[in-house]
Chain A
Amino acid sequence: MEVVWRESPSLALANGHGLYHHLPGVITAKTDYLFAMARKSSLWPLTFGLACCAIEMIGAYMAEHDLDRFGVVTWPSPRQSDVMIIAGTAVKKMAEPIKLLWEQMPLPKWAIAMGACATDGGPFQRSYSTVQGADQIIPIDVYVPGCPPRPQALLYGIIKLQEKIMAEASNRKAAV
């Protein structure tokens, strides 16, 4: 990690007067890192349940699992959301609205494919009306296996997404 926690003297140094030495700590890091940290700590998924997995997704938000403690708070409008959780079967008729919603979300944005249907079609893979995996419609960052995945699995997927966001921040230079 390139994030360095420093004691207050560094700020005092920057300030030049030593006035703020009572502050607990200061972070020096690249801005990419700081933004990534902020982003990963307040992921707002779009309130968007497609099928069975949505029930487990709601279960993850509710009292027992409490996704809020990861900074994950649902948001009903795509305009202010960061994450789209495809929780359920993506049907051909629904493909167009999903794409539209995805395009309405501002950057940076991520997508989680929750469950077997969103990953590759799952039990409905051979059907005439389903899309064989949500990644045929939109780019997916994290796949959560299960049919349906337990709330804990979704939590793990979100933690993985947070790790990915941090990794992206450190790899940006390499990528460019």
Chain B
Amino acid sequence: MAESRLETVDMFINMGPQHPSTHGVFRMVLTIDGEQIVDMKPHIGYLHRGVEKLAEGLRYREVTVLLDRTDYLAALNNELPYVMALEKLLDVKVPERAEYIRVLVCELNRIASHLMFYGAFGADAGATTPFMYAFRDREEIQHFFEAVTGGRLMHNYFRVGGVRYDLPEDWRERLTKLIPHLRKGIVDCERLLSDNEIFLNRTIGVGQISAADAIDYGLTGPNLRACGVRLDLRRDQPYSVYPKLEFDVPTRSRGDCYDRYLLRVEEMRQSLRIVEQCLEQMPDGPSLGEVPRVIRPKEGEVYVGTENPRGEYGIYLVSRGGDYPYRVKVRAPSFCNLMALNEMMRGCYIADCVLILGSIDIVLGEVDR
């Protein structure tokens, strides 16, 4: 033979849906060239529970139960846009104390969610100890939640016009104990990973995405801020009592895994600052405003987006009268963030793909809904 024909065939690697580090039931099919990822095809829907359809068959007050279970790491943050949307449709005024309670528990939930990210990300990078540290602190937050809302993970706490229960009698003591504990916990976390040589080598420059691409794909939250875009709906589209509170919106510039990690650690600090201010400024008064017994909003529609730990969690609520919502569309931040995964992974090594997936911090419950 004068000429031998050699054909190159792409090699595929399937990951998931059962894989210990896919953060749920996410499946991706990687096309690889040697050790490098050429292309990644995500497959989702392994947790598609039909929340939007179910919500159309529930009364307005009952929908929060389902929304809790979409982004299950930050259940309280999910209830907020929904009750805010309903309040806008009903034109209900929320007492100030209720607003403060909402912000307080939302920010604590943000810390709990970021701690979960921290633990899982450490595990993705090959360190199991951070998981233990993160859960030590997370449990403390959950104990506080249990005292306030009655639930550890699923709360169903926010109501139209306020919150279900007022804070427990000893909330100040509990919180004053919790805050230093968390502050120390964050320092511990940082000392464990942030300057760790192995961790630095594994994360810096891995999974980079440019700001322009990130915006194009609709990234929000820490993933976008890690690229240097200062978008935080708490500040840019102020809601609740956030305008009265002082906090920074940290940004990073590189947009790689390390920046996304460091940004979340910094966000925990800022959230803690907000919690402290809530503790100081908490006004007296009712925790539930004047609300009609039967919730039957007038015809109309509203879109409310709030800052979830993972980005913008939006609810598009359409009412056509009656007791049931006509359409509840959930704008899930992880759903949008996941779209950019291919962009981040292309050209990276196959060993880093778990790390990159971990760094965008998806929750499959809201990706699939």
Chain A residues near B (Cβ < 8 Å) = 46-52, 54-56, 58-59, 62-64, 74, 76, 78, 88-89, 91, 93-94, 97, 101, 123-124, 126-130, 147-148, 150
Contact = CB atoms under 8 A, between A and B. Distances in A.
List 10 tightest A-B contacts by C-beta distance, closest first.
A62-B135, A52-B72, A127-B50, A47-B20, A76-B20, A94-B46, A124-B49, A63-B132, A64-B139, A129-B50
A94 B142 CA distance: 30
B66 interface: yes
Interface in B22-54: 24-25, 45-51, 53-54
A123 B65 contact: yes
A50 B153 contact: no
Nearest to A130: B49
Given A88-B47, A123-B66, A51 B17 contact: no
Nearest to A48: B18
7 contacts: A51-B69, A51-B364, A91-B47, A91-B368, A93-B48, A124-B50, A148-B153
A123 to B, nearest CB: 6
B14 to A, nearest CB: 11
Contacts of B298: none
Nearest to B66: A123
Nearest to B152: A150
Interface residues of B, number: 36
A126 B57 contact: yes
Given A49-B24, A51-B24, A62-B139, 4 more contacts: A46-B18, A55-B73, A97-B46, A148-B154
A80 to B, nearest CB: 13
Nearest to A74: B20
Contacts of A74: 20
Nearest to B50: A127
Contacts of B25: 50, 94, 97
A127 B154 contact: no
A50 B47 CA distance: 7
B24 A129 contact: no
Given A91-B49, A130-B49, A59 B135 contact: yes
Contacts of A55: 72-73, 116, 153
Contacts of B46: 91, 93-94, 97
B105 to A, nearest CB: 17
A126 B54 contact: yes
Given A52-B154, A52-B365, A64 B72 contact: no
Given A62-B132, A128-B50, A56 B152 contact: yes
